[in-house]
Structure 1
């Protein structure tokens, strides 16, 4: 299963590194390899989040995520998106923007860096909404009960996540965004209006895409539930069969419009996660093709890891992993907003996410062992009672 799931990633890695060595020599090969590791370390929590969504989808849409989705991730977000940002922020036509990206690496880096406040605000708000909607929801399984239980009670206010996100955005726009260092170290500039506008754009994007996805998902679940109740009433189906029918979307997988919008939601999440990787890559290279190749290889591994987690049922076995990943998303959202003014090393950004996921994995192991021990004790007591 490992080879089947990661086979494409291994193949693309070999081909990508070979191409890098052929085009740019040993130095280019090393740069691409470093960028690949950077992308994987920064986006591991992305794989966990994606797996939680992807397991609701049919095998067809899972394949779409691994094929069409990777094309969007590599060519769209790692190659085309930075050039589009340069064209918009610098008010260049597309041809001139491409020419700058290919032939004037220093100017290209400067233009993308100048656009960072808007990128960070958009991505930061989108990711923050994902975290807030998760942490404010009442869940049967809670990792940090002392925190999640009271927040779930507050979450009964339906608009609370939006209110909190807007407050955070206004704080960012009136603090870190008011004196953003100019690229090259020559003074500062007020980016408050830009950050506010981009942040609202990220918030609106989340509400539209996430809202449409939830609408179609809930509609499909209602239809499956109605079909299950109808079958039980008309044919006298056993209770267990009706329950299996009712849970259809989680077993069979979302299809049609529900799956399409869920796929779109996944791609927007991936885009938000890619922002810090693209910006951080400039610390290693300002060559757009080296950047796209290295980050693309890393993105391929994240895709494969997502599918692996789904097929192995890892999120069902280690129930706190999703919690850890969402806490990592919350941390990344805050860090993105902070980087509007302050530079934060990618090691810190990626390290926080890895530590949170590792902690949630360990907590899941402890929980599983405790439940196994309780189960064994219950069986022993039953045997003793039966013997007496």
Structure 2
């Protein structure tokens, strides 16, 4: 049985991704033309890149789960990932920012995407404020990490790691950002080529909620991962130890706890992609298809890692993804007040990831030559 798995080609692991991606491209082409395909493909690449580390963690936990729960994660978990997080969550965002009921929001999104997109556009500044500060918190959490021992853009990341020991700088920067934006926020903004009067609370409160969401997720994950002991090792060892404590516990060995824990981690990793998607497209169908294809790719990559017992060696890819998150966060905050071209946003999402990938490949080749 082991030999059959080893002989399985790498591409064959991604059959479901290729199938879903192909169907998605066809739907996007008929639905929005070339722009829809470009936006959907960009979201797929973004989701895969942002969730690359998620695939590594998934593989580590999945390898210790009972076979039945492993299968359920790849089936039930896929439905939750594609239709739950990437379809329902954007609808919940609109439900929370408009007077529509949850059922009305869902019905409108499916039956009248054009009208639904207009509603999202009318709440554009609210979504951008909420998503922008949430993504900024993710980027700042990555940047100000004193345990990080691998630095890509060293001139920035090394100094940020040193300063992180002074205090919780990500909260300070986030609050300072809200204060500055709240002070300078105008009473009127341009929305879909129309001047709209707004209240400062429509921007400040969503940003506060964005910070609360981030801190709540971190708190909840901390509860699940805490084993009551102190750690003084590097960040990767800490993460691995926390995960192993959960998967080796009596409750986790039953399968259900590992499944819930894994879904929680997967969901928390998905928030940045879902919220960042609004910077690329505001069409719910394109968001679901693009991010859904990326979710399939992440699941396939997880299976590949589990079967072969390997993890990725592209050490800068996560860094590129995080810098992409940071640039998308800035772009979303700017889009509270003004429109940015789609081409610029797509470039901000892809270029850091592409450069990080190329740099990682080159570093791997140099390491092989040294050996």
Which range, TM-score by smaller chain?
0.7 to 0.9
What does the per-residue CA deviation read over 1:56-104, in whole Å, with 9 as the maximum and x for residues that have no partner? 4333487666544432343234433444344443323334434443555
Q: What is the deviation of 1:320? A: 1.8
Q: What is the deviation of 1:346? A: 3.3
Q: What is the deviation of 1:307? A: 2.4
Output the CA distance in 1 between the equivalents of 2:166 and 2:214: 18
Q: Which residue does 1:328 correspond to in 2?
A: 324
Whether 2:116 is the aligned partner of 1:108: answer: yes
Q: Which runs of 5+ in 1 are unaligned?
A: 226-243, 376-388
Structure-2 change in CA distance of 1:345 and 1:147 (3 Å):
same
Q: What is the deviation of 1:40? A: 1.5
> Does the CA-based 8 Å contact 1:35-1:295 persist in structure 2?
yes
Whether 2:336 is the aligned partner of 1:340: answer: yes
TM-score, structure 2 length as denominator? 0.76
Q: What is the deviation of 1:292? A: 6.1
Q: Which residue does 2:267 correspond to in 1?
A: 267
Q: Which moved more, 1:195-204 or 1:359-368?
A: 359-368
Output the CA distance in 2 between the equivalents of 1:347 and 1:338: 15
Q: Which residue does 1:317 correspond to in 2?
A: 313
What does the per-residue CA deviation read over 1:23-62, in whole Å, with 9 as the maximum and x for residues that have no partner? xxx7349576455313224434313342354354333487
Q: Which residue does 1:356 correspond to in 2?
A: 352
Q: Which runs of 5+ in 2 are unaligned?
A: 1-8
Bigger Cα Rg: 1
> Does the CA-based 8 Å contact 1:126-1:206 persist in structure 2?
yes
Listed as ranges, the matches of 1:182-331 within 5 Å are: 182-183=191-192, 185-219=193-227, 254=247, 256=252, 260-261=260-261, 263-278=263-278, 280-282=280-282, 290-291=285-286, 294-295=289-290, 297-304=292-299, 307=302, 310=305, 316-331=312-327
Q: What is the deviation of 1:262? A: 5.6
TM-score, structure 1 length as denominator? 0.73
Output the CA distance in 1 between the equivalents of 2:155 and 2:94: 45
Output the CA distance in 2 between the equivalents of 1:82 and 1:248: 34
Q: Which residue does 1:38 correspond to in 2?
A: 42
Listed as ranges, the matches of 1:44-63 within 5 Å are: 44-51=48-55, 53-59=57-63, 60=65
